[in-house]
Structure 1
Amino acid sequence: MKKIIKNAFALLLLVLAFGAQAQSQSKLEQDLQDLRTWMSRKASQGDSITRAEWPTIKQEFRARTQSLEQGTGKMTEQSKQEYSELKTRYRQWETDNEERYGQPLNRETASDWERKLAGTRNIDKLKSSQIRETYTRFMENVRGLRHDWSLRDWDYAEHVYLLLNDRKQQVLDQMSNSDKMKVAALQVEFNTLRKSRDAKDLYNSMREQR
């Protein structure tokens, strides 16, 4: 009788251990799937990621992989391989972006770009009646100059664009509806041109890898 009880107890411990292992694997599989989805979503953003977002993205990756790093030994071989591939892809992506986002904009150069694209170094002092005209000038310059821009040049153009956006928000209540609509159209155009550059760079990168 004692032997039966002992065997039953051992079996119960085995079942509990198996259940805990299965639950642990299930959690790791979910974490892996979440990481896969997160990386796919970030990769699809291309160069639309802003400098301010970059530190947060790196922190998110560390947080999302913490449990996976601790539970690697409990993963299936297939999951281990996928996780290794995801980490390799991320490291390459981070290396590529760190060179760009890790370097702060030069203050003097940024000021020159403000003058070149917006016609002023005092964007933060623009009146509501000047916003539409300044956005229009900005986009005219972007259209004319963008063909020769590097990714770094686009960083400075985006810097000017964000300054304009900030000032527009500050005086939005004082702007006419027609000015608001015109500025919104120009904002869409800027983002479209930026994304077209992203697509071009991606295409060229794929060609170089063939």
Structure 2
Amino acid sequence: MKKLAIWSYSLALSAAVLACESRTTTQTTTSTNGNDTTTVTRRTTKASDELEEFRGWVKNKANRTDSAARENWPEVKEDFKRRTARLDSKADSLSADARAEYNRLKAEYQTWEEENERRAQQPLDPNKLRQWEQELLGPTKELTTLTAADMRETYLLFMGIVRAKKNKWSQDDWDYVDNVYSRLNDRKEELEGGLSAGDRLKIKSLQAEYLALEASHDAKDLYQHVRK
């Protein structure tokens, strides 16, 4: 009986939470024109829910690698405009704290965008890039000559160096590292058919680790720029 009561309470609590988390309100308008009656139902999203979505969106963008973001730059900018336009139209219904957070999130995004555009326009030095290739992939290896049999060990070497030196690298250093990483991935795609299932799985886990480490660095870099 006690278990039944606990279960009933949990079910009621879950229902209450779901009700509180409803993200939309429904407005129904009925108009009559002669003998015809038209009913229009509009679903509108609350400003607080829009802000929650915007918060997650900004965090997601800040956590993506710069090269991934730049590939879809026009779409990212257009998405930002759409989201802020919706929130701007509902800003009056936000609390003072929520409006302050909204302004902070916009500033974070704009700082991130400006920094990424600056980095995108700054060409990498070919000689330095070659030096970074040798450091990250080994002095005797070149991306164009890597074989399927080399890929697993190459990723292991690459990630071992990233783990050891990530905290010492500047933002410019990370630009070179990210370039080498992207081209290593391109080479892996070319050799995909020759990789074993075990190698694919291991490489996938190493790629996920790299993205997490770079995202952590980018988030710290964004925070430092916003503080300035």
Q: TM-score range by the shorter chain?
A: 0.5 to 0.7
Unaligned runs of 5+ in 1: 1-14, 17-22
Q: 1:63 aligned to 82, 85, 93, which one? A: 82
Deviation at 1:174, TM superposition (A): 0.8
For residues 58-111 of structure 1, the C-alpha deviation after alignment (integer angstroms, 9 at most, x for no partner) is: 221113344666xx4xx5732496568525531343124422443225142334
Deviation at 1:188, TM superposition (A): 3.3
Q: 2:133 aligned to 114, 122, 125, which one? A: 114
Residue type matched to 1:141 in 2?
I
**1:53 correspondence with 2:69:** yes
Find runs of 4+ consecutive structure 1 residues off by over 6 angstroms.
Answer: none
Matches within 5 A, 1:20-35: 27=44, 29=45, 33-34=49-50
Partner of 2:175: 155
Count of residues in correspondence between the two structures:
180
- Distance, in Å, in 2 between the alignment partners of 1:77 and 1:188 is 41
Mapped contact 1:35–1:64 kept (Cα < 8 A): no
Moved more, 80-89 or 179-188: 80-89
Cα 1:102–1:51 change in 2 (3 A) is farther
- Distance, in Å, in 1 between the alignment partners of 2:212 and 2:179 is 16
Mapped contact 2:66–2:116 kept (Cα < 8 A): no
Cα 1:64–1:195 change in 2 (3 A) is closer
Give me the TM-score of the superposition, normalised by structure 2: 0.59
Cα 1:129–1:37 change in 2 (3 A) is same
Unaligned runs of 5+ in 2: 1-29, 32-40
**1:186 correspondence with 2:202:** no
- Distance, in Å, in 1 between the alignment partners of 2:48 and 2:77 is 17
- Distance, in Å, in 2 between the alignment partners of 1:170 and 1:192 is 24
Mapped contact 2:47–2:91 kept (Cα < 8 A): no
- Distance, in Å, in 2 between the alignment partners of 1:115 and 1:176 is 26
Higher helix share goes to which structure? 1
Cα 1:144–1:97 change in 2 (3 A) is same
Matches within 5 A, 1:1-210: 27=44, 29=45, 33-34=49-50, 36-44=52-60, 46-54=62-70, 55=73, 56-66=75-85, 72=89, 75=90, 77-79=92-94, 86-104=102-120, 105-108=123-126, 109-119=128-138, 122-197=142-217, 201=220
Higher strand share goes to which structure? 2
Percentage of matched positions with identical amino acids = 27
For residues 115-150 of structure 1, the C-alpha deviation after alignment (integer angstroms, 9 at most, x for no partner) is: 321237842442211212221221222233223112
- Distance, in Å, in 2 between the alignment partners of 1:188 and 1:61 is 26
Q: Which has the larger radius of gyration?
A: 1
Residue type matched to 1:77 in 2?
D
Partner of 1:3: none
For residues 134-168 of structure 1, the C-alpha deviation after alignment (integer angstroms, 9 at most, x for no partner) is: 21221222233223112332232222222222221
Partner of 1:12: none
